[in-house]
């Protein structure tokens, strides 16, 4: 079956005006999202994961602006079934609000403790978007909300409709946030660290719920996370982001079993697991660069023990990994004339182990 | 209202009554300890003075006086005026004065509350622009300049120069003559409420749940009025009550300037002439109002903010 492309992001550049000058938060991001598939964006805090998705939603902070690039979104007209492609970047705020946001692309937020309106009942918060966008009657919206609540695994749905957020636990609130996101039957679901703020025991359940719903509704999902464990569980494709750029992209197996970028090596090495208890957990040395300044060469070079001279001068382009049309790496190490550099021994062992255990869902 | 809400209100009422009693004891003692006597006509002889004191029961031990006062108070009798309004019942004197002050205070709070909220929301939505700065300047001026200065300025402008409104209170024209003092009083309220609303609104607009509401694709009208305003106004409501009570006590000078026969004017005059029963009744009324106001605010707070709504079992 041919894959149907839903989102096509090209050369996205976003900057923020702050008191300390212009912050170049996103510096040329490219990625695609296909129907029914899951793309994860991984990276450290401040690498631009959230900013990218906020741009897709059109909810960038007021001081942020998209300087260049395009976010092409394709959907099928509800009546004619005809495919429509629009560049979200070119849409006005009004069009975004009326057509896209909430209706076609919905979002699950990080902290369910703060992302629900404390003075509005759960029911109202779920009913609101469908009444607003589709002009549903109160009864219709109520019925659908109760169904949605059941769907996201909330027992006593009718009773919960009357509850306020503070009367529910964190896990339940996240289920409510998911129900709100699903209320207008979106095509794309963006999950911004949906489990980070939750109890470990709840995390897996929420991930399973999102996967289950994704399958049932044939949703395309974008996961933002810094947790590679989550990525391994849910993603089909992974984009590793560093300092506002995607430095490595590929299928889940390519990223986990055959990582090529030293930054990805660092991320995988710094993943805690049960066997590494005797030595210290690996951390990537240094800190991410200051994005208010012009970055010369590869942004990761100062923290990269494998950095080449050219890394300090010229930003590496995306190199195709031989033998794959999905795996791409932005590192000069991939150049044919670059010295051959192997990933660290300890990481190799780790990957061997992961392969044996089948850590990923791929 | 649920059972436990009623229980809570009952408990609060009981505590309020105890507080009021303590206040009454303290007030009574302070007033009795005041130098001088309410019977201060210098032409009276010692025996005449003693006779008058006996007539009012002022010769009895302080405890008896207090018990009698409380007994009468419970029947609504706050004694009589000793010298300002000879033998007039204090209850009706204070009552009619309080009515005027209350109406003035309430009007100023309503006008100031509405305008202040609008100004605050406006400033918050135009954060860090020239409009925000302008609104901030207005509210800083409003907070720092005392209301009687505004009263004077308004008097000069509207009454002396433009002759639009009467300068002094007149019972013939209660509404017209109330415009200026109410205007003067509401300036401070506008300023306070605007400052408070702006801060709250800014933090609410930056909150996660507003991002979620925005992500739902709601328009800005719905966002501001259905999601943000209510959350921003909860803390504002808490300051309205104390503002109202402060206005009623703080109106003294404005009442004096505009010649309003309100509570402030009555209290000042009664202190000057040592009219003990009026001092007691006025002070007691202020204390009672304050307590009732706090009670109303606490209860209404629970109605607006479900998080502190009582009597709903948490799951």
Separation in Å, CA of B120 to nearest CA in chain A: 19
Of the partner residues A114, A120, A128, the one whose CB lies closest to the CB of residue B208 = A114
CB contact under 8 A, A115 and B208: yes
Are the beta carbons of B279 and B83 closer than 8 angstroms?
Answer: no
Number of H helices, E strands in chain B: 13, 0
Q: How far apart are CA A55 and CA A58, in angstroms?
A: 5
Query: What tokens does A349 get?
Result: 């062992």
Residues of A in CB contact (< 8 Å) with B are 57, 59, 97-98, 100-103, 106-107, 109-111, 114-121, 128-129, 132-133, 163-164, 166-169, 177, 180, 184
| Mean pLDDT value across residues A197-221 | 91
Residue B313 above 50 pLDDT? no
Percent of chain A with pLDDT over 70: 97
Percent of chain B with pLDDT over 90: 22
Sign of the CA dihedral running A18, A20, A24, A25: negative
Closest CA to B189 of B246, B136, B261, B148: B246
Residue B256 CB-density burial (10 A; 0-12 exposed, 13-18 middle, 19+ buried): middle
A101 interaction partners in chain B (CB closer than 8 Å): 214-217
In tens, the pLDDT along B92-146 reads 888 888 888 888 888 999 999 999 999 999 999 998 889 999 998 988 998 888 8
CB contact under 8 A, A167 and B222: no
Pairing between strand A220-225 and A38-42? parallel
Contacts of B196 (CB under 8 A, 6+ apart): B116, B120, B235, B236, B239
In tens, the pLDDT along A29-85 reads 999 999 999 999 998 888 888 899 999 999 888 889 999 999 999 988 878 888 889
Residue whose token pair is 């049932």 = A216
Of the partner residues A102, A110, A118, the one whose CB lies closest to the CB of residue B215 = A102
Q: What pLDDT shows up at residue B312?
A: 46
Query: What tokens does A362 get?
Result: 């791929």
The B residues from 142 to 201 touching A (CB cutoff 8 Å) are none
CB-based contact, B81 to chain A, within 8 Å: no
Distances (CA, A) of A250 to A170, A173, A255, A318, B18: 33, 33, 6, 12, 73
Of the partner residues B208, B231, B305, the one whose CB lies closest to the CB of residue A109 = B208
Residue A277 above 70 pLDDT? no
Average pLDDT, chain A: 89
Lowest mean pLDDT among A156-160, A314-318, B53-57, B206-210: B53-57
Please name the CATH architecture into which domain A5-235 falls: 3-Layer(aba) Sandwich (3.40)
Helix B276-304, helix B263-272: angle, nearest 10: 150
Q: What pLDDT shows up at residue A360?
A: 58
Are the beta carbons of B3 and B255 closer than 8 angstroms?
Answer: no
| Mean pLDDT value across residues B294-313 | 67
Domain A241-357: homologous superfamily in CATH: P-loop containing nucleotide triphosphate hydrolases (3.40.50.300)
Are the beta carbons of A300 and A287 closer than 8 angstroms?
Answer: no
Contacts of B10 (CB under 8 A, 6+ apart): none
The B residues from 221 to 260 touching A (CB cutoff 8 Å) are 222, 226-227, 230-231, 234
Closest CA to A33 of A1, A89, A88, A72: A72
Which residues on adjacent β-strands are paired with residue B25?
none
Q: Give the 3-state secondary structure of residue A250.
A: strand
In a domain, residue B312? The reply is no
A121 interaction partners in chain B (CB closer than 8 Å): 306
Residue B228 CB-density burial (10 A; 0-12 exposed, 13-18 middle, 19+ buried): buried
Reported pTM: 0.80
Q: How far apart are CA A346 and CA A282, in angstroms?
A: 10
Query: How many domains is chain B built from?
Result: 1
Which residues on adjacent β-strands are paired with residue A192?
A224
CB contact under 8 A, A115 and B211: yes
In a domain, residue B293? The reply is no
Residue B311 above 50 pLDDT? no
Strands in A5-18's sheet, in edge-to-edge order, are A21-34, A5-18, A64-76, A83-87
CB contact under 8 A, A133 and B314: no
Are the beta carbons of A6 and A35 closer than 8 angstroms?
Answer: yes
Domain coverage including residue B139? 97-272
Which residues on adjacent β-strands are paired with residue A41?
A224, A239
CB-based contact, B308 to chain A, within 8 Å: no
Are the beta carbons of B81 and B269 closer than 8 angstroms?
Answer: no
Closest CA to A192 of A51, A15, A360, A30: A51
Q: How far apart are CA A173 and CA A166, in angstroms?
A: 9
B164: CATH = 1.10.3720.10
Strands in A245-251's sheet, in edge-to-edge order, are A105-108, A188-192, A220-225, A38-42, A237-242, A245-251, A328-329, A319-320
| Mean pLDDT value across residues A151-179 | 92
Q: What pLDDT shows up at residue A52?
A: 92
CB contact under 8 A, A117 and B217: no
């Amino acid at each position: 079956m041919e894959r149907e492309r839903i989102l096509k992001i090209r050369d996205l550049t976003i900057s923020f005006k702050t008191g300390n000058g212009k912050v170049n938060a996103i510096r040329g991001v490219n990625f695609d999202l296909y129907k029914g598939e899951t793309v994860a964006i991984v990276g450290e805090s401040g690498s631009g994961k959230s900013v990218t998705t906020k741009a897709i939603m059109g909810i960038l902070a007021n001081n942020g602006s998209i300087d260049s690039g395009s976010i092409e979104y394709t959907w099928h007209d509800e009546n004619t079934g005809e495919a429509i492609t629009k560049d979200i970047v070119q849409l006005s705020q009004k069009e975004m609000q009326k057509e896209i946001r909430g209706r076609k692309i919905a979002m699950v937020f990080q902290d369910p403790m703060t992302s629900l309106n404390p003075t509005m009942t759960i029911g109202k918060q779920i009913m609101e978007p469908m009444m607003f966008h589709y002009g549903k009657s109160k009864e219709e919206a109520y019925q659908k909300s109760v169904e949605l609540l059941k769907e996201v695994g909330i027992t006593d749905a009718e009773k919960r409709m009357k509850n306020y957020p503070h009367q529910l636990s964190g896990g339940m609130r996240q289920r409510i946030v998911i129900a709100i996101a699903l209320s207008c039957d979106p095509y794309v679901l963006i999950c911004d660290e949906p489990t980070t703020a939750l109890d470990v025991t709840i995390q897996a359940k929420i991930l399973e719920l999102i996967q289950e719903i994704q399958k049932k509704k044939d949703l395309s999902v974008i996961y933002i996370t810094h947790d590679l464990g989550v990525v391994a569980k849910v993603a089909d494709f992974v984009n590793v982001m560093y300092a506002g750029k995607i430095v490595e992209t590929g299928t889940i197996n390519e990223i986990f079993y055959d990582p090529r970028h030293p930054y990805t090596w660092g991320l995988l090495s710094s993943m805690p697991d049960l066997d590494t208890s005797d030595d210290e957990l690996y951390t990537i040395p240094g800190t991410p660069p200051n994005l208010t300044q012009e970055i010369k060469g590869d942004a990761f070079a100062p923290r990269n023990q494998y950095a080449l001279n050219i890394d300090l001068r010229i930003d590496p382009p995306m190199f195709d990994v031989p033998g794959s049309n999905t795996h791409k790496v932005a590192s000069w190490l991939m150049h044919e004339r670059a010295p051959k550099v192997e990933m660290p021994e300890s990481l190799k062992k780790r990957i061997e182990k992961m392969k044996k255990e089948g850590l990923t869902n791929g | 209202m649920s059972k436990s809400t009623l229980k809570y209100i009952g408990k609060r009422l009981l505590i309020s009554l105890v507080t009021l009693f303590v206040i009454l004891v303290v007030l009574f003692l302070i007033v009795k300890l005041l130098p001088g006597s309410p019977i201060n006509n210098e032409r009276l002889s010692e025996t005449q003075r003693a006779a008058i004191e006996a007539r009012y029961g002022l010769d009895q031990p302080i405890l008896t006086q207090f018990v009698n006062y409380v007994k009468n108070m419970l029947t609504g009798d706050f004694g009589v005026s000793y010298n300002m309004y000879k033998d007039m019942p204090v209850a009706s004197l204070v009552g009619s004065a309080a009515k005027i002050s209350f109406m003035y205070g309430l009007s100023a709070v309503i006008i100031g509350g509405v305008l202040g909220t609008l100004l605050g929301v406006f400033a918050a939505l135009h954060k860090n622009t020239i409009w925000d700065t302008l609104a901030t300047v207005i509210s800083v001026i409003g907070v720092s300049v005392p209301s009687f200065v505004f009263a004077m300025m308004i008097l000069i402008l509207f009454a002396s120069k433009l002759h639009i409104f009467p300068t002094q209170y007149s019972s013939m024209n209660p509404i017209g003559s109330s415009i200026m003092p109410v205007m003067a009083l509401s300036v401070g309220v506008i300023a306070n409420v605007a400052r408070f609303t702006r801060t709250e609104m800014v933090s609410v607009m930056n909150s996660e749940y507003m991002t979620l509401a925005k992500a739902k694709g709601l328009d800005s009208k719905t966002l501001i009025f259905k999601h943000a305003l209510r959350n921003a106004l909860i803390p504002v409501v808490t300051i309205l009550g104390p503002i109202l009570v402060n206005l009623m006590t703080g109106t003294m000078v404005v009442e004096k300037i505009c010649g309003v026969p309100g509570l402030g004017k009555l209290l000042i005059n009664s202190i000057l002439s040592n009219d003990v029963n009026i001092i007691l009744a006025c002070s007691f009324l202020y204390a009672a109002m304050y307590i009732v106001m706090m009670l109303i605010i606490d209860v209404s707070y629970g109605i607006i903010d479900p998080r502190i709504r009582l009597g709903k079992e948490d799951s």
